[in-house]
Amino acid sequence: MVQLNFNHLRYFWTVAKEGSIARACEVLHLTPQTISGQLKVFEESIGNALFQRSGRGLVLTDTGRLVKQYADEIFALGGELSQQLRDAGPVNSFTVGLVDSIPKLIAYQLLEPLITSADPVKLVCHEGKIDQLSSDLALHKLDMVLTDTPLPAGHAIKAYNHHLGSTQVGFYAHRRIARKYSAKFPASLEGAPMLLPVQASAMRRDLDDWFLRNSIQPKITGEFADSALIKAFGEAGAGIFPAPAAISEHIEQTYHCRFIGNADGISESYYAVSVERKLKNPSVVRMNEAAHEWLSS
Amino acid sequence: MVQLNFNHLRYFWTVAKEGSIARACEVLHLTPQTISGQLKVFEESIGNALFQRSGRGLVLTDTGRLVKQYADEIFALGGELSQQLRDAGPVNSFTVGLVDSIPKLIAYQLLEPLITSADPVKLVCHEGKIDQLSSDLALHKLDMVLTDTPLPAGHAIKAYNHHLGSTQVGFYAHRRIARKYSAKFPASLEGAPMLLPVQASAMRRDLDDWFLRNSIQPKITGEFADSALIKAFGEAGAGIFPAPAAISEHIEQTYHCRFIGNADGISESYYAVSVERKLKNPSVVRMNEAAHEWLSS
DNA sequence: TTTATTATTCGATATTTTCGAAGTAAATTG
DNA sequence: CAATTTACTTCGAAAATATCGAATAATAAA
């Protein structure tokens, strides 16, 4: 016996459990000659009889009893595994890492195609800093990372940036404030109360550059790591805040704000980072297409 | 998945252990396309991916990790079983029950063909009363019972007597005693010191009948359940004892006795009792043939 | 006895596994 | 950055294996 044949073991085990080949046939949906033959092959491969032919029936030999004990355990485990796999169902889960600075609404818009499709996936989202997320990606704890800054090329981690599209950046504020700054935009922003992302974010770097180019020095009222927090402050009237133009309508409705104007010349890009150079995962491909469509309009 | 395919499981497990299809190929002596294909079939039968294709390699998914844990246990058990079966070797053991009253030398002569043959069997002998032995036979704890009395036909136990042959019964004694009783045998036995089997034995019943028919009344010095004990007493000169003529030479040599004469008209028969009506077990068939040959000469 | 049940043997047939050839994609190399 | 090597996959055809139908044997039950 080179290697244990589990098919034979199963037949043997069923016969041993049921007490006869005839009964095992019903359980296994096979004919007696098949089981009898396979049993014989098994016995020959083992080199010992498993059953003693007695009258027109079979009785386990010592070896047979030994084998049955192991088979009991083995098929108990096998059954348990099958059950677990059945319970789990076809999960097709997809784990995404979201960089903190990416607006939740953008993330939702980008990921939405994954859950509303013919072949829906179970979406698992994690948030964190790009360093943490990219190392998780390398460890295959994540299937993809959504970020607004592409991963540096010379990075130790093998991963590829897939550009999803870009959007202009606009300024929004509570209607009372917005009215005041809408006229003579962008010059009006000089000394205006401003809520901005932290220095680490891509948008902040672009905005600082834009303010410089336009010779505007706003009054920075607050800095936020989480983009949702900015908007909550903005809704309360704490100041003007920047947001992707792509979700302009949502911003105005959800946070009861008004659009003031676009930061001309700067744009926010979004990237899907994955370990595959070419996107193959159907979920990612779908998302990529939808993103391009959305962010080009 | 109707039923877990252990072949697929083994391939999956090997790939998971070795880390790549390529390495698994070497272990399993298969080509990559086989393993890749079978793995795919397995994944489809499960309904979930087991590996995530990453670059030109594979990484376990959550489901894959679950399956691997079970596979570890299952194949550990399988390996253990294989090892035990390998260690055991082709044992072909054969368990015989010997009725107390059957002479050990007769038993040896009958069973000898089983151990000195091209396909030797491991002989396991038990001794006991016919009742105990025949019930053990029914429970398949014994393959055969050797006895000098056939099992009654109407017995509750399903078993068949196979007549092995018969032998005359002779009288033996220490040479000093033998000389005295050899002349005028069998009349000389009147009042002679006699060592006999217990009433329960077949030989004793036959002998009592023979004494009656020949109008001899010996002086019974002792009764023994075990036939070997009679001979030990006989060797010491305690009296005349009966023994199968078939082992006459052995008796004379081993116990330093002399043959006095045969109990004409009576014979001892030996039977192999087994659960099979027709002897099929090659060991038993061989023994049966050898016994017939021996006891006909 | 006859009948029903159980297991086995022997081909013929189906199914499953395996491999060769060719292709894709990613890592490595010059 | 093109060429080479490595690793996996896809698609048939071939090989190995399992299954079954028909016939047989033996035992148990009626």
- Which pairing describes strands A93-99 and A122-128: parallel, antiparallel, or unpaired? parallel
| Homologous superfamily assigned to B166-269 | Periplasmic binding protein-like II (3.40.190.10)
Tokens 């298969």, residue located: B30
- A132's enclosing H/E stretch is helix A130-138
- For residue range A245-289, list pLDDT tens digits in order: 999 999 999 999 999 999 999 999 999 998 877 777 777 888 888
- Judged against a pLDDT cut of 70, whether residue A105 lies above it is answered with yes
pLDDT value at position A2? 75
Which one is predicted more confidently, A237 or A275? A237
pLDDT value at position B60? 93
List, as ranges, residues 124-143 from A with C-beta within 8 Å of B.
140, 143
pLDDT value at position B264? 93
Which of chain A's residues have a Cβ under 8 Å away from the Cβ of B46?
85
- For residue range A137-179, list pLDDT tens digits in order: 888 888 899 999 888 766 667 788 888 999 999 999 999 999 9
Q: CA–CA separation, B297 vs B295, rounded Å?
A: 6
What is the dihedral angle through the alpha carbons of A52, A55, A59, A63, rounded to the nearest 10 degrees?
0
Interchain contact, B276 vs A55, CB within 8 Å: yes
Which of chain A's residues have a Cβ under 8 Å away from the Cβ of B82?
1, 3-4
- For residue range B103-116, list pLDDT tens digits in order: 999 999 999 988 88
A1 confidence band (pLDDT: 50, 70, 90) = low
Quick one: CATH architecture of A167-269?
3-Layer(aba) Sandwich (3.40)
What proportion of chain A, given as a percentage, has pLDDT over 90? 65
Q: Which nucleotides of C are covered by protein (CB under 7 A)?
A: 5-11, 16-22, 25-27
Work out the minimum CA distance from B105 to partner chain A, whole angstroms. 29
| Residues 23-42, chain B, CB closer than 7 Å to nucleic strand D | 32-33, 36-37, 39-40
- Judged against a pLDDT cut of 90, whether residue A94 lies above it is answered with no
- A52's enclosing H/E stretch is strand A51-54
CATH number for the domain whose boundaries are B6-88: 1.10.10.10
- Judged against a pLDDT cut of 90, whether residue B100 lies above it is answered with no
- Judged against a pLDDT cut of 80, whether residue A62 lies above it is answered with yes
pTM listed for this prediction: 0.78
pLDDT value at position A227? 86
Q: Is B276 on the interface with A (CB under 8 A)?
A: yes
Tokens 């001899």, residue located: B216
| Homologous superfamily assigned to A93-165+271-296 | Periplasmic binding protein-like II (3.40.190.10)
Q: So where are chain A's domains?
A: 6-88, 93-165+271-296, 167-269
A23 confidence band (pLDDT: 50, 70, 90) = very high
pLDDT value at position B1? 65
- As a three-state string, the secondary structure of chain B is CCCCCHHHHHHHHHHHHHCCHHHHHHHHCCCHHHHHHHHHHHHHHHCCCCEEEECCEEEECHHHHHHHHHHHHHHHHHHHHHHHHHHHCCCCEEEEEEECCCCHHHHHHHHHHHHCCCCCCEEEEEEECHHHHHHHHHCCCCCEEEECCCCCCCCCCCCEEEEEEEEEEEEEEEHHHHHHHHCCCCHHHCCCEEEEECCCCHHHHHHHHHHHHCCCCCEEEEEECCHHHHHHHHHCCCCEEEEEHHHHHHHHHHHCEEEEEEEEEEEEEEEEEECCCCCCCHHHHHHHHHHHHHHHC
| Residues 136-175, chain A, CB closer than 7 Å to nucleic strand D | none
pLDDT value at position A282? 75
- For residue range B128-162, list pLDDT tens digits in order: 988 889 888 888 888 899 999 888 766 667 788 88
Q: Is residue B95 within 8 Å of B133, Cβ to Cβ?
A: no
